[in-house]
């Protein structure tokens, strides 16, 4: 998300880099993640400015924060052919450990938003204030759009979760309307599905040299149509598990420009989170405007790893809930 709109604020001034903190390493496995305790997931004031932070504490046995990401070896078990799996029907498999669980995946933006600026600029109520229905998203310098990236990863993630028996729904898909849906509608899809977990897939559009991923957690909001108080804690748990597995599987470092090296940020200005009544997080998988990250984001093999890391985080959360 790089353009000003419902789910992105203008990039903040770059803060001095802290120590080599990361969210997890190869030693962090789903079993160990069960010991992670989230004591605080609410940052500073909400509204349209600033990024809130989450304070995440881990048990001594499972803590791997502080180990350099360079020591993480990406897994080699994911397919490396770069092909996009054929989307499967939104129905649970006959059996599997996630049978009965519902996951909603929200592929950020829409390729047609560029041609429908009037529609996506319409303001919607996100609880704390009013924001545009949607935005165009960003792209690599070579023209690979965020909307293409998010749908590709979402298809891969959907296939992985359905193999485990989950019912998976997308907020948009191939053949969807030419623009949107609006951020309030995206949240409503997850709510009406009574999702056990929901995730919005994005890629960032920060300055070159800014790289890495970060997971956005909902802050505590109780205003207008928004009330996130019941989902703050489970969403933080979901986000921590996704972050730990994402860095382990992909080798992508935690963001060096937001989140103080933790890979976790709490915000109160995102309609997709504010209006959610089910556990939900956003993930910015990397910076499309940085050459190193762009090389990963445009690789089908790496996108498969991204989907695998996100999937393992969701599976860990669902098995523990």
Question: H or E element: which one contains 120?
Answer: helix 117-120
- Cβ atoms 300, 83 nearer than 8 A: yes
Query: Which position has the token pair 């791997």?
Result: 64
Cα 203 to Cα 110, 155, 288, distances in angstroms: 13, 16, 6
User: For 71, which DSSP code?
Assistant: G
Q: Is the dihedral of CA 157, 159, 162, 163 positive or negative?
A: negative
Relative to beta strand 167-170, strand 130-132 is unpaired
| Cα distance between residue 118 and residue 114, in whole Å | 10
| Cα distance between residue 133 and residue 1, in whole Å | 14
Let me know if 132 is a catalytic residue: no
Cα 161 to Cα 25, 61, 94, distances in angstroms: 23, 28, 13
| Cα distance between residue 25 and residue 182, in whole Å | 36
User: Catalytic one among 132, 146, 252, 284?
Assistant: 284
Cα 58 to Cα 40, 131, 215, distances in angstroms: 11, 35, 17
Q: How many other CB atoms sit within 10 Å of the CB of residue 3?
A: 16
Nearest to 297 by CA among 158, 151, 140, 105: 140
Residues recognised as catalytic:
284
């Amino acid at each position: 998300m790089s353009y000003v709109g419902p789910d992105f604020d203008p990039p903040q001034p770059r803060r001095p880099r802290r120590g080599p903190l990361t969210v997890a390493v190869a030693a962090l496995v789903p079993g160990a993640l069960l010991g992670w305790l989230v004591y605080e997931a609410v940052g500073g004031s909400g509204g349209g400015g600033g990024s809130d932070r989450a304070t995440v504490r881990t048990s001594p046995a499972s803590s791997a924060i502080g180990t350099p990401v360079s020591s993480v070896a990406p897994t080699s078990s994911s397919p490396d052919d770069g092909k996009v799996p054929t989307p499967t029907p939104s129905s649970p498999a006959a059996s599997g450990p996630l049978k009965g669980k519902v996951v909603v995946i929200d592929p950020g933006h829409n390729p047609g938003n560029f041609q429908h600026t009037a529609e996506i600029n319409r303001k919607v109520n996100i609880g704390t204030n009013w924001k545009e229905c949607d935005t165009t998203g960003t792209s690599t310098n070579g023209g690979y759009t965020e909307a293409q990236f998010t749908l590709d990863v979402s298809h891969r993630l959907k296939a992985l979760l359905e193999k485990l028996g989950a019912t998976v729904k997308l907020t948009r898909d191939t053949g969807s309307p030419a623009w949107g849906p609006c951020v309030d509608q995206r949240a409503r899809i997850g709510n009406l599905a009574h999702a056990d977990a929901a995730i919005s897939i994005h890629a960032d559009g920060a300055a070159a040299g800014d790289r890495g991923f970060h997971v956005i957690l909902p802050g505590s909001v109780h205003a207008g149509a928004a009330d996130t108080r019941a989902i703050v804690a489970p969403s933080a748990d979901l986000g921590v598990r996704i972050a730990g597995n994402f860095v382990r599987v992909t080798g992508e470092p935690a963001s060096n420009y937001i989140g103080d090296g933790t890979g976790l940020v709490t915000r109160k200005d995102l309609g997709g989170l504010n209006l959610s009544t089910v556990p939900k997080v956003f993930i910015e998988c990397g910076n499309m405007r940085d050459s190193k990250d762009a090389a990963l984001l445009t690789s089908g093999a790496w996108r498969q790893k991204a989907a695998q890391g996100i999937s393992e985080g969701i599976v860990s959360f669902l098995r523990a809930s």
